[in-house]
């Protein structure tokens, strides 16, 4: 279990801190590997709350936030938004939602994300669920996703794959060196992938 310190409360009350104990699982894997699809299944069967960093950033654009244009440009280019922006959005959700079990999907995406989240929140993930899938299959899925995402075009998809290889895989390797990675063969059909996911979550329930 990690803790989130309520900074505003800490300020108002001096040393008095309000803390919320939470269990966090990071859900990582390449673009189109099936993170969102499987998170929906985990929510249904194991009672976690799903927080997708990408979804939170897209909602921030829609909300008309002052960071909206910057975020939109980064997403179009497949680049990683500065950690402070994404962490603020994640922290707000973790504090406001009454659940104590969270799947954090698509985060941390690079070393900066990883280190900043750990130092700001003090949360260490229980484990990392890693969806392993070939680029060929991920590209096929993204090009037929049809959800109107501005980054599901071949130019941006190639940029996202490059960022994934160069910046995100090293984070997965970092957690692997700590024995925290649960690797799933994500190239299989959805139902079979979930059977493997279920086997990871069942023993900890
Ligand atoms: N195992 C699977 N087999 C075939 N298609 C799949 C599988 N898992 C997911 N899909 C489909 O692939 C597309 C991408 O899946 P999903 O949105 O879950 O990926 P993601 O990892 O969240 O991607 P992103 O990082 O871009 O958000 C969706 O259209 C989804 O229905
Ligand atoms: N930690 C993150 C997560 C996402 N982004 C940006 O959002 C894009 C879409 O993310 P998905 O997980 O929904 O595929 C991604 O390509 C990044 O531009 C981010 O900056 N940081
Ligand atoms: Mg997704």
Burial (CB < 10 A; 0-12, 13-18, 19+), residue 33, is buried
Residue 185 Ramachandran class (φ > 0 left, ψ -120 to 50 alpha, else beta) = beta
| Beta carbons of 151 and 160 less than 8 angstroms apart | yes
pLDDT for 141 equals 98
Atom of ligand 1 nearest to the CA of 192: 1
pLDDT for 9 equals 36
User: Atom 1 (ligand 2): residue with closest C-alpha?
Assistant: 107
Instruction: Tell me, in angstroms, the distance from the centre of ligand 3 to residue 119's CA.
Output: 25
Residue set of the binding site for a ribonucleoside 5'-phosphate: 58, 79-81, 106-109, 149, 160
Helix axes 68-76, 53-62, angle to 10 degrees: 130
Question: Does this model's pTM top 0.90?
Answer: yes
Q: Which ligand is nearest to the CA of 33?
A: 1
pLDDT for 204 equals 64
Non-local CB neighbours of 18 within 8 Å, separated by 6+ positions:
5, 6, 9, 10
Domain ranges in the chain are 2-204
pLDDT for 16 equals 25
Pocket flag, ligand 2, residue 26 (CB < 6 Å): no
In total, the chain counts a number of residues equal to 205
Model-level ipTM above the cut of 0.90: yes
With the most atoms of ligand 1 within 8 angstroms of its CB, the residue from 32, 42, 54, 191 to mutate is 32
Pocket flag, ligand 2, residue 31 (CB < 6 Å): yes
Domain 2-204: CATH class, spelled out: alpha beta
Tens digits of pLDDT across the chain (205 residues) = 444 444 433 333 322 224 789 999 999 999 999 999 999 999 999 999 999 999 999 999 999 999 999 999 999 999 999 999 999 999 999 999 999 999 999 999 999 999 999 999 999 999 999 999 999 999 999 999 999 999 999 999 999 999 999 999 999 999 999 999 999 999 999 999 999 999 999 976 6
- Here the tokens at position 158 are 């190639």
The helix, strand and coil proportions of the chain, stated in percent and rounded to the nearest 5, come to 55, 15, 30
């Amino acid at each position: 279990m990690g803790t989130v310190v309520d900074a505003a409360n800490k300020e108002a009350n001096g040393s008095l801190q309000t803390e919320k104990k939470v269990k966090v699982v990071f859900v990582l894997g390449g673009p189109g590997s099936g993170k969102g699809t499987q998170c929906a299944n985990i929510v249904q069967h194991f009672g976690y709350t799903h927080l997708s960093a990408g979804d939170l950033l897209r909602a921030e654009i829609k909300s008309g936030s002052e960071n909206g244009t910057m975020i939109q440009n980064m997403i179009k280019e497949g680049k990683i938004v500065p950690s402070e922006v994404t962490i603020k959005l994640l922290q707000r959700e973790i504090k406001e939602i009454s659940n104590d079990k969270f799947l954090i999907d698509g985060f941390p995406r690079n070393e900066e994300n990883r280190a900043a989240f750990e130092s700001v929140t003090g949360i260490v993930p229980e484990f990392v669920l890693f969806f392993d899938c070939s680029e060929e299959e991920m590209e096929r899925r993204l090009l037929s996703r049809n959800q109107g995402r501005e980054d599901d075009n071949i130019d941006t998809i190639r940029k996202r794959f490059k960022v994934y290889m160069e910046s995100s895989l090293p984070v997965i390797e970092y957690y692997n060196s700590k024995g925290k990675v649960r690797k799933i063969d994500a190239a299989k059909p959805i139902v079979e992938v979930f059977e493997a996911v279920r086997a990871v979550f069942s023993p900890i329930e």
